[in-house]
Amino acid sequence: MMELTIQKQDKRPFVYGRRTFEYNLAYCERKTMEIAVHPDSTVFVKVPMDSDILMVEKKIKQRARWIIRQLTYFKQYTPRTPSRCYVNGETHLYCGKQYRLKVLVGHEDSVKLSRGFFQITCRDEPTPEIVQKLLNRWYFDKAVSQFNESMERCWPKFNNLSLVKPSISIKRMKKRWGSLSKKGTMTLNTDLVKAPKECIDYVLIHELCHLKYHDHSPEFYKLLDSMFPGWEKVKHKLELTMV
């Protein structure tokens, strides 16, 4: 039966131990209850029209540990690189290393890594907007090569699982380092190229594990452990590097 129009919706708090989270409760013309945690950390609970709120909260309590784990996952997986001004002397990351900006005026627009500096040459007056545009274009080009190299390092681990190798899409994302679509396309955040290579590999392997298990079930983490032993430390390193 197809779900019909939502008849009533409101936000409610839920306390579980020391944690409190807010969820969106929607009454719909449906037969079963559904709980979903979205990447932006919103929790949606859809229930049949005649549902009793006490029974709803009982079921939420039964899934509370899973909900909190999903919320924690999305929070820790969110890029936290601070805003930049794109001026001389400012530091920017590439593959886990810091480089200072050296902005020059020259005959052509270009970006080069040279002796610990991002040497950015502009044909016109080097405004922060122009510097940012040139650097972002450079990051995207490097992301293409670095992510493809990472895939070549990581994919052989999955050869014996009879999975289809995903294609890679690259774009800037506010909430995620990576994601895997139902059609098998892996989308990676351009900013991930700023992280150390082992962190890039971790994100790719994490998403590749979703080819086998689409949720974050115990089976998923068992596979992740086998494919990338010690991934927790690398994940933590990613979070610290990108602060």
Amino acid 147: pLDDT = 98
Amino acid 6: pLDDT = 46
Kindly state whether residues 143 and 111 are assigned to the same domain. Answer: yes
Kindly state whether residues 59 and 98 are assigned to the same domain. Answer: no
The average pLDDT across 73-97 equals 79
Residue 1 lies in a domain: no
Q: What are phi and psi of 105, to 5 degrees?
A: -105, 130
Residue 175 pLDDT class (50, 70, 90 cuts): confident
3-class DSSP assignment, residue 90: coil
Kindly state whether residues 136 and 215 are assigned to the same domain. Answer: yes
Identify whether the C-beta of residue 45 lies closer than 8 Å to the C-beta of residue 10.
Answer: no
Tell me the residue range of the domain where 150 lies: 91-241
Residue 132: give its domain's CATH number: 3.30.2010.10
Kindly state whether residues 222 and 147 are assigned to the same domain. Answer: yes
pLDDT digits (tens, 9 = 90+) for 8-43: 668 889 988 888 888 989 888 888 999 988 766 789
67 class by beta-carbon count within 10 Å (0-12 exposed, 13-18 middle, 19+ buried): buried
Kindly state whether residues 56 and 100 are assigned to the same domain. Answer: no
Q: What are phi and psi of 150, to 5 degrees?
A: -65, -40
As a residue count, the chain comes to 243
205 class by beta-carbon count within 10 Å (0-12 exposed, 13-18 middle, 19+ buried): buried
Kindly state whether residues 101 and 26 are assigned to the same domain. Answer: no
55 Cα distance to chain centroid? 34
For the chain, what percent of residues have pLDDT higher than 70?
A: 92
Kindly state whether residues 128 and 197 are assigned to the same domain. Answer: yes
Among the listed residues 195, 202, 187, the one whose alpha carbon sits nearest the alpha carbon of residue 241 = 195
Residue 229 pLDDT greater than 90, yes or no:
yes
Q: Which two tokens stand for residue 26?
A: 């929607």
Identify whether the C-beta of residue 103 lies closer than 8 Å to the C-beta of residue 131.
Answer: yes
The average pLDDT across 172-201 equals 93
Domain count, the chain: 2
Q: Mean pLDDT over all residues of the chain?
A: 89
Residue 81 pLDDT greater than 70, yes or no:
no
Kindly state whether residues 114 and 179 are assigned to the same domain. Answer: yes
Q: Which residue has the tokens 């098998």?
A: 184
The more confident residue out of 138 and 6 is 138
Residue 172 lies in a domain: yes
Residue 86 lies in a domain: no
Amino acid 80: pLDDT = 54
Kindly state whether residues 66 and 127 are assigned to the same domain. Answer: no
CA–CA dist 64, 16 (Å, integer): 7
